[in-house]
Amino acid sequence: MNNWKFPTNTESKEDIYKALKELKKDDLPWKTGKVMAYVYQTIPAAQELAHEAYTLYLTENGLDPSQFPSLLQLERQVIAMVADLLNGGSAAVGNCISGGTESVMLAVKTARDRARQLYPKITEPEIIIPETAHPCFYKAGHYLNVKVKTTPVNKTTFKADVKAMEADITDQTILLACSAPSYTNAVIDDIEAIAAIAKTNNLLCHVDACVGGMFIPFAKMLGYSMPLFDFSIAGVTSISCDLHKYGYVPKGCSTIIYRNKALRQYQFFSCSAWPGYTILNPTVLSSKTGGPMAAAWSLFKFLGVETYKQAVKDCMDARDVVIAALTEIPELYLLGQPEISMLSFASNSASVNVFELAERMKAKGWYIQTQLKSTISDAGIHLSISHFNAPHIPALMEDLKVTVEALKKETDRSVQATFNPAMIEDMLTNFTPEVLDNLEQILSKNEQGIPDNFVLVNNILNTLEPAQRDMLLTAFVNKMFSVEQ
Ligand SMILES: *Cc1c(COP(=O)(O)O)cnc(C)c1O
């Protein structure tokens, strides 16, 4: 039922603003600095500047930079500054885009369209990724009709298995991809080896440095030993680098950088055949605000190398506090060896359910991200430590220790008792909308139709195969986004 009608009565600006603020009351209170995902922040002055720069360019349209030449200049300069960090040299080119997902979609489109032009025998193009690569590669394959072949990673280090990637190359392969680092465990693949294989086989090699691109270069300057990941490796043809993560730019800002213009040409789309204005889109979006780019440009100039280095240093110190504290909590163990200030850990104790742990931590004001059981690890917790989180990390680990102790002391932690996995499996084999209704009856939800508590949801999802999870989540979210109030 939809009770929302288009307004016939108007309200004052003040009332609307007040209502908007009121709406936010259940949102993650990220301003506390205790939210360890979704939001990346550095010093408050940067946040202020980003807001101002963003609003200054909110209305200008990046659809046609020939009419807004300042947007062209901002984009060229932001790209040049990022390419400089990534050792792109004078030939590197790129674009500012909406996010990491768009960067990967463009890299895959570029590889596909290059193959179409240069290698007509490739009729069923495929890309090869390690299983730790971000799901946006699957999304790119899904949207672009490109097959995605996933290779297993080393089960201890979580690094891509380079030999397995090489063995998967066929005459239909167009691109090898790798991460610097992977989001889950912050592990950097052996990019030198992967890029060398790509080069030998005349394939493109895309490095997903969405989180590492604005982190690793500063870590290197600080003296941390970091593997090579950028254009200093000959076979690397393109790199994703998000600015709305460790670049601390407001969301809607990432970059895709190519080694040269000849590669980038396949990214474009043009259409001058229709009766309207001529379309030449370098990226996915057509009309777009100049806000994110203006914010990126301003923040780079305001913060400079030294502040970004300081942010990386503070984040790395905080990461080391987490790693040290985890060694004092025997029920939890670190997954892999994180190379930046992101990491995951899991539980080795039946009395410490990580989903329950996250929910309890949320009640104490901490948001820590849960992750389901996967091909490489048990269900776990992920932390993305950004600059404004760093001062809170010792308190986070203290609360984590106390919460684990509390969970251990409670006897009936058997979540299995609350649902029967076999029943759910059974329901899913004959999936109908009623299955969802049945499931929803066992979930308690708040007034927005969002589960009050994700422990049960996660415990259910954790028992299912990925295809079943996807089916259930799709149905659930399809319902969640329907207007029912
Ligand atoms: C965040 C992330 C992405 C996706 O970025 P969005 O900006 O959310 O689209 C891709 N790859 C990695 C490694 C990431 O961390």
- Could you give the CA distance from residue 478 to residue 463 in angstroms, rounded to a whole number? 22
Q: Are strands 279-281 and 269-271 parallel, antiparallel or unpaired?
A: antiparallel
Residue count of the chain: 485
Q: Which domains does the chain have, with CATH numbers?
A: 53-299 (3.40.640.10), 305-411 (3.90.1150.10), 416-480 (no CATH)
Peptide bond into 69 cis (omega under 30): no
Between the CA of 17 and the centroid of ligand 1 the distance, in Å, is 31
Among 36, 103, 131, 183, name the best residue to mutate to test ligand 1's pocket (greatest count of ligand atoms within 8 A of Cβ): 183
Nearest CA to ligand 1 atom 5: 100
Q: How far is CA 91 from CA 51, 87, 156, 180, in A?
A: 32, 10, 38, 22
The end-to-end CA distance of the chain, in Å, is 7
Among the atoms of ligand 1, which is closest to the Cα of residue 212? Answer: 13
Q: What is the pLDDT of residue 484?
A: 64
Ligand 1 pocket member 208 (CB < 6 A): yes
Q: What is the pLDDT of residue 453?
A: 79
Answer whether 190 contacts ligand 1 (Cβ < 6 A): no
Quote the pLDDT of residue 416: 46
Q: Do residues 343 and 186 touch, judged by C-beta distance below 8 A? A: yes
Q: Which of 134, 192, 145 is nearest to 172 (CA)?
A: 145
Distance 210 CA to ligand 1 centre (A): 6
Q: What is the pTM of this model?
A: 0.95
Our mutation pick for probing the ligand 1 site, out of 136, 138, 244, 382, counting the most ligand atoms within 8 A of Cβ, is 136
C-alpha of residue 181 to centroid of ligand 1, in Å = 11
Would you say the CB of residue 206 lies under 6 angstroms from ligand 1?
A: no
What confidence tens digit (pLDDT) does each residue in 428-454 have?
Answer: 676 676 777 777 776 777 777 777 778
- Is 214 near ligand 1, meaning CB less than 6 Å away? no
Contact 253, 296 (CB under 8 A): yes
Find out whether 461 and 468 touch, Cβ atoms under 8 Å: no
Taking the CA atoms of 37, 42, 43 and 44 in sequence, report the sign of the dihedral they define: negative
Q: If you measure from the C-alpha of residue 136 to the centroid of ligand 1, how many angstroms do you get, rounded to a whole number?
A: 7
Residue nearest atom 4 of ligand 1, based on CA coordinates: 100
69 burial (CB, 10 Å; 0-12 / 13-18 / 19+) is: exposed
At residue 96, φ and ψ (nearest 5 deg) are -90, 135
Q: Please report the pLDDT score of residue 182 as a whole number.
A: 98
From the alpha carbon of 102, which atom of ligand 1 is closest? 9
Residue ranges in the chain modelled with pLDDT below 70: 1-2, 411-421, 423, 425, 427-428, 430-431, 433, 442, 483-485
Instruction: Tell me if 101 CB under 6 Å of ligand 1.
Output: yes
Angle between helix 100-118 and 136-144 (nearest 10): 40
Could you tell me the CA-to-CA distances from 62 to 232, 268, 286, 318 in Å, in that order? 31, 15, 8, 38
Residue 396 to residues 32, 34, 254, 326, 400: CA-CA distances in angstroms? 12, 8, 29, 11, 6
For ligand 1, the distance from its centroid to the CA atom of residue 134, given in whole angstroms, is 7
